[in-house]
Structure 1
């Protein structure tokens, strides 16, 4: 009995000695960004860390109550809620489909710009609501947070981290409106395509010209957003000399939600940690009704199409075109769809409001994944080795699917043609019948899984590393402290050019004077 008690006490002591729970302040983003971050936060909580999340009272995805985090809900006028996201999706669908006259398309594009501006101004309002509340800031200071974890697609996290004088870890894929790599790492435009270009890492001359132009447009757009919206907030709370464009890249660790099985090889930095597919995991058993439906597919198998977030916003004829194409497949189909049920839905199609995407992708009966090209779905398809038929819409979706298509694991179809011809049906049939698509995806799956450390474990280690060492300054390059003028050594090039010109000019003058002296001496002799 005494031995048992002693063993239990020793076990408790050992457990506590290895448990170093910290306080983490989280500035998340909405939508699919939150879905992934939520998985990371649950893992952090399971390791004994206390999580505090900043959200607005009108937040859509981020709930006010959860067992694994404390929510700091701020009442603000502007908010990124369901209505905001729906309007953004509708504007994006109308623009991409190109079904409106050119003047209307310009109006739609202007509307999208206004929506994006509203988004970032809402973020600034949320930051101001926190920093202007003296009592709240005193409470946050007394909590003694160890770090700020932020998604830099919104610019508020770095301002809060600097104001609270805390280390900063980025959970990142995008920074404001561009691939985060462009913000921190050398990015030669000769072989690194800008998101939205639709190019691979092997570009022709004209493609490189377009890539450069798109980069400049994106750079100017981000500079305008940073200057008009974030810089005033930054100056108000961090001082007039604080440059938002400079501090926004000053994170200790960048947890990059991609990897080089999926992305193109490119230069990187010491404080960038690649955690692509960290949310992926082995499949769990399906709910009984889904398992029964999947097993009823026989030898043909099942096609899944979890695109409900934006398909409900498509015109009825387009939704009917998708349903009609799915109805012609011999496979059973599970389609996540929240809009009006299309009249052409076939007997082989099960329409659902929600599906366990990861668990379905891991089921041996799944033969094809019809995807819109979001980062989450692409990584899960790679993890489980399921070939893809892509229907991209906007943002990075086409570029994500293009990476799979280049590696032989996907076939891309324009969403605007699904109700006009058989291209969607033909693409699905090609991927289903050509074994190379599945073989290529399974090869990518083996590459992705063959890692010395799981992506989730890497993410947890580096977050805790920053907490233990109060930052990771030794991994941060000085590039973020430099202006573009200094970073690209423009001053050095100008100085060396001037020095060479001076030497040439001096040499020229010396030769000229010497030539004149010789000529004068010759004249005198004559």
Structure 2
């Protein structure tokens, strides 16, 4: 499959689609996306659904950063909030990153560490408070809600990172499909499938599935911490919303766990093995596709690299640039390479920029990763870039900056397909050595090529898998037969604490009866012997 050109690949996907799907003609889909890099994934799904004849309506806020009001492949419902959701402001992630790097670089004292995370928790709470207001604005607008009901949507497709769409789906009595990796408490598996902390790394803790005792202690602590943050910082905003509009008998977390299908942006070629459930469909790498020819300017630059080839660098969609002291070190390292470098860099050019480095504000990342002259990808470790790089078999020099990026690059490093550089300790020499090791040691490329072969070897392209399950839910008005009802059980029943207590009580009672009986018999026997002696 790796050698199939773009046109043939497209024909193959269309053919598989026609042969394997019982299509839903003219379905209506209501979409609640999350802005930023998450929208890149959701938008691809929407485009594909539109191309199959479905009518898609996207709920967006008036201040949305990426989700445009007008687009050829969807209609939009624009909701005006009292204030913009923080993550819809372009400088939010840059500001957050600068603060985090400053704390780590200066050496975090207990006070600075506590202050930073206290501020982070406050920001997290504010993000979800603002997001919950989207539900208030919709529920209070009776005309809008009636218009949505009259449209007679078939399904709600949403990203549960900001899960207000779950509440709207419940109000409309519509089945839900999650386009998900992250939810309010972290990685999505943790609320839908068994996730033993003995070998399943917790969100926020970069570890493999082979943990030492100390790592398992830390992993369990992170799980407990994530649960507390979710329960006391995030969920109260949605709990209040649920109680206000649905009453005390409805639980927000039950609505979240009751999704019909979870389209999990995960591939076990990349993710560590873990338990799963019947209503989880894995679509990791669904955005990956064969590369297309480059523009004449980029192709000329790439070809000028000769036998040395070129290196790509990008920090993704959320962070336009790093602090100048870091970018200067990166530029100095690039300047010492024989390879050409293409660097997505949207702000002021860094110091020490070499003649071999081309700065661009935007680049066709997938097409560059698929070019035969590429040698390595210097990346922050975002999921989209990870899967595109894995699809094309390009090894990675990881500079993780935020959130799940540390866990992502660790997974590739554990498989010998990446080398990680700490951004807070990055120097021109450390970066140069990491790049040279990845470029000149064939094991990195061979390991990534092996992952690429495994990733591509599927009965159906992940995008087709996603479309199939969305249409499945539309055809059957849900997928409740695939969903366990265990989420409705109280915790003591789920973990069989009551059963264990009952069995322990029975065992104690039997022990007491046996011990009592033996004691009674021994006493009687002693009395009889005493009587005979007398």
TM tier relative to shorter chain: over 0.9
Aligned match of 1:4: none
Whether 2:69 is the aligned partner of 1:64: answer yes
Distance 1:18 1:160 in 2: 26
Distance 1:59 1:83 in 2: 6
Q: Which moved more, 1:108-117 or 1:493-502?
A: 108-117
Partner residue of 1:31? 36
Task: Give the conservation status (yes or no) of the 8 Å contact 1:149–1:170.
Answer: yes
Find the counterpart in structure 2 of residue 74 from structure 1: 79
Report deviation, 1:351: 0.4
1:467 corresponds in structure 2 to 474
Matches within 5 A, 1:171-182: 171-182=179-190
Residue 372 of structure 1, CA deviation: 0.2
Give the superposition deviation at 1:226. 4.3
Partner of 1:8: none
Give the alignment partner of residue 89 of structure 1, picking from 94, 100, 104: 94
Q: Distance in 1 between matches of 2:300 and 2:321?
A: 30
* 2:396 aligned with 1:388: yes
Deviations 1:290-332 (A, max 9, x none): 1111111111111010126466452211110111111111100
Contact preservation (8 Å) 1:197, 1:214: yes
CA distance in 1, matches of 2:423, 2:224: 28
**CA contact 1:313–1:339 (8 Å) conserved in 2:** yes
TM-score computed with the length of structure 1 as normaliser: 0.94
Match of 2:526 in 1: 519
1:510 to partner: Cα distance: 1.8
Contact persistence 1:88–1:115 (CA under 8 A):
no
SS in 2 for 1:369: strand
Quote the Cα distance in structure 1 between the aligned partners of 2:318 and 2:151. Answer: 40
- Quote how far apart the aligned CAs of 1:367 are: 0.9
User: Tell me, which stretches of 5 or more residues in structure 1 are unaligned?
Assistant: 1-13
Q: List structure 1 segments (4+ residues) > 6 angstroms apart after TM superposition.
A: none
The answer to whether the 8 A contact 2:65-2:89 is kept is: no
The answer for the alignment partner of 1:268 in structure 2 is: 276
1:423 aligns with 2:430: yes
Task: Tell me whether 86-95 or 437-446 shows the greater mean CA deviation.
Answer: 86-95
**Number of residue pairs the alignment of both structures matches:** 510
Conservation of the 8 A alpha-carbon contact between 2:29 and 2:157: yes
Tell me which residue corresponds to 2:417.
Answer: 409
Q: Does 1:299 align with 2:307?
A: yes
**Is the 2:93–2:318 contact (alpha carbons within 8 Å) kept by the matching residues of 1?**
no
> In angstroms, what is the RMSD of aligned CA positions?
1.7
Shift of 1:522: 2.4
Alignment of 1:208-227 (within 5 A): 208-227=216-235
Give 1:78 deviation, angstroms: 2.7
Deviates more, 1:379-388 or 1:71-80: 71-80
**1:241 partnered with 2:249:** yes
Contact 1:146 1:167 in 2 (8 A): yes
Contact 1:92 1:112 in 2 (8 A): no
C-alpha distance in structure 2 between counterparts of 1:234 and 1:122, whole Å: 15
CA displacement, residues 14-72 of structure 1 (integer Å, 9 cap, x when unaligned):
9xx96611111111111111111100110000001111111110111111111111110
Q: CA separation in 2, counterparts of 1:80 and 1:243?
A: 24
Q: Give, in angstroms, the shift of residue 482 of structure 1.
A: 1.4
CA shift at 1:82, angstroms? 6.6
> Aligned ranges for residues 275-354 of structure 1 at < 5 Å?
275-307=283-315, 309=317, 312-354=320-362
1:142 alignment partner in structure 2: 150
Q: Which residue of the other structure, out of 447, 459, 462, is the alignment partner of 1:440?
A: 447
Q: Hey, what does 1:253 align to over in structure 2?
A: 261
Question: Corresponding residue for 1:494?
Answer: 501
- Displacement, 1:441? 0.8
Residues 224-246 of structure 1: per-residue CA shift (max 9 Å, x gap): 13442111011112211111122
Q: Distance in 2 between matches of 1:240 and 1:310?
A: 38
Cα pair distance change 1:19/1:187, threshold 3 Å:
closer
Q: Is the 8 A contact 2:36 2:88 kept in 1?
A: no
Q: Residue 411 of structure 1: CA displacement? A: 0.4
TM-score when normalising by structure 2: 0.93
Structure 2 residue matching 1:280: 3-state secondary structure:
coil
Kept in 2, the 8 Å contact 1:311–1:339? The answer is no
Partners in 1 of 2:203 and 2:54 — Cα distance?
35
Q: Secondary structure in 2 aligned to 1:77?
A: coil
- Give the SS at the match of 1:520: helix
Bigger mean CA deviation after superposition, 293-302 or 504-513? 504-513
User: Could you report, residue by residue, the CA deviation over 1:243-297 in whole angstroms, capped at 9, with x for unpaired residues?
Assistant: 1122211110000001111101111000100000000111111122111111111
* Residue in 2 that maps onto 1:118: 126
Partner of 1:478: 485
8 Å CA contact 1:417, 1:424 repeated in 2: no
Inter-partner Cα distance in structure 2 for 1:523 and 1:84: 92
- SS of the aligned residue for 1:99 comes to helix
8 Å Cα contact 1:169/1:251 also seen in 2: yes
1:146-173 deviation line (CA, Å, top 9, x unaligned): 0111111112121111111100101000
